[in-house]
Structure 1
């Protein structure tokens, strides 16, 4: 997908029924705009399932991680982000924190998160994948489409025809 065609205000104007997440996220990735079908992880201060997901083929999808909004540790760092790039993920939306932000900004990956935190997460093998998650006032289901840029994050039931 041509990421230059992802302009969320224009998408909202053309598709007024899209869901818009609350403006709580900041952009940390090297791609300011990204889009793709949603895949999900739900976990809390344990990024084992995030590690498992980015190790698999992303095929242009966006990994949405409900990390419980924790500000006590990072759920994504440079190593997992590099693995996501290598495996073809379009982006990661982290309802939690990330770290290694200077490296994240150089990668061909969209990353939006609540903030940055230097501490790594636990690895206990806990969490769930491919379930419905509720983040930023929006219910997100695997297979829906997510569109993100510096203006915000949108969710649609299916891939949209983008305005020119």
Structure 2
């Protein structure tokens, strides 16, 4: 997929929202885009697993982990599920782990940082609700674009 977030911002002024610069890129793809799917969870990645086990169809999973820096929401096994099931990328408002193996996978993964501890598994959280962080509200079905310059969101596809 060929695009630059800077060019999309310039060509669609007033139609895109830029997320505050807070993410690091960990996946093998540094540039990815697709329709948004959302999860709102806190230190529990059960819904992350079940969502990534379903067909992604080129979507981007946006995980509002509450910005927690106390455990990881995605590791190499979950990222591999994302690759196998056709997800374009994962954006985590929280941490990931297994960053070395994830760097070699054909998926975009943006997160705040890394943490070696795994999350709890209670199955708590919400699927496909509007979530807000980084000054942007992410709504299921809208589009997310991510590259070396940041993350932007639009109401519809810009490509």
Aligning the two structures, in what range does the TM-score lie when normalised by the shorter sequence?
A: over 0.9
| Alignment-derived partner of residue 107 in structure 2 | 109
Normalised TM-score (structure 1): 0.95
Structure 2 residue matching 1:146: 3-state secondary structure:
strand
| Alignment-derived partner of residue 5 in structure 2 | 8
Runs (5+) with no aligned partner, structure 2: none
Structure 1 residue matching 2:7: 3-state secondary structure:
helix
C-alpha distance in 1 between matches for 2:58 and 2:13? 25
- Is the contact made by 1:6 and 1:148 (CA closer than 8 Å) also made in structure 2? no
C-alpha distance in 1 between matches for 2:100 and 2:3? 24
| Alignment-derived partner of residue 144 in structure 2 | 146
C-alpha distance in 2 between matches for 1:49 and 1:88? 17
Report matched runs for 1:1-164 at 5 Å. Answer: 2=1, 5-17=2-14, 18-161=16-159
Structure 2 residue matching 1:85: 3-state secondary structure:
helix
C-alpha distance in 2 between matches for 1:110 and 1:143? 18
C-alpha distance in 2 between matches for 1:63 and 1:106? 19
C-alpha distance in 2 between matches for 1:6 and 1:121? 34
Runs (5+) with no aligned partner, structure 1: none
For the aligned residues, what is the CA RMSD? Answer: 0.6
Runs of 4+ in 1 over 3 A off after TM superposition: none
Offset at residue 6 of structure 1 (A): 2.1
